[in-house]
Amino acid sequence: MNVYATEEEQVEALKKWWKQNGKAVFGGVIIGVAVLYGGKMWFEQRNRHIEIASAEYEAMIQDLNQDKKNEAADRGAAILGQYADTAYGELAALAMAKIKVDENDLVAAKSHLQWALDNAKQEEIKRIARLRLARVLHAEGKHDEALQMLSIANAGKFAAAYDELKGDIYVAKGDVAQAKNHYDLALQSLELTSRARRYIEMKLDDLGQSTTQVKES
């Protein structure tokens, strides 16, 4: 996959990739079982199960785009109840968490994000869930827990976002030196959009730090 500027674009890319390739991946994993045990009917049922999950998730996103949050939440709950064993369960959990954050129900948001983190099979989804969970913990004032959540060896495409959030957390903790360090690390990423880069530079300026300009590709 190419580099994406935002988490939402990455989620959208994962969704499209799974929609285009999910059947092939699924088929490759279990085709041997179907051949060995005569599971053609089971395979077809499973394939149908995934197709329904996909349709329900698409309807959920359409509801969200139309600001029908109650309907979207109902669909999300149904997906997690009936199709949690598909990739659409992971995506629905992220969407449900966003709905709960908008409702200021941070406890429920954390529950959905933790579920995504614990159950996602795609590493990018885990990284997004971890980042968003850390943001919620930060919003709750649980700064040390948020930092612990961000303490992973490889944040992948989200390294800059992880470092920016670490900077925000250290600002809240009153540790200006660490905050500057992580903002500087975030600025070293060539994957930042111009807007994101300016925003981080503003945060550094607020700390009295002259930013190091990083050549954008």
Q: Where are the domains of the chain?
A: 1-121, 144-217
- Determine contact, residues 138/109, Cβ cutoff 8 Å: no
- Determine contact, residues 179/171, Cβ cutoff 8 Å: yes
Helix runs in 2-140, H state only: 7-37, 40-65, 69-82, 87-102, 106-119, 123-139
Lowest mean pLDDT among 6-10, 18-22, 66-70, 84-88: 18-22
Q: What is the band of 192 on the pLDDT scale with cuts at 50, 70, 90?
A: confident
Give the pLDDT confidence of 105-115 residue by residue, as tens digits: 999 999 999 99
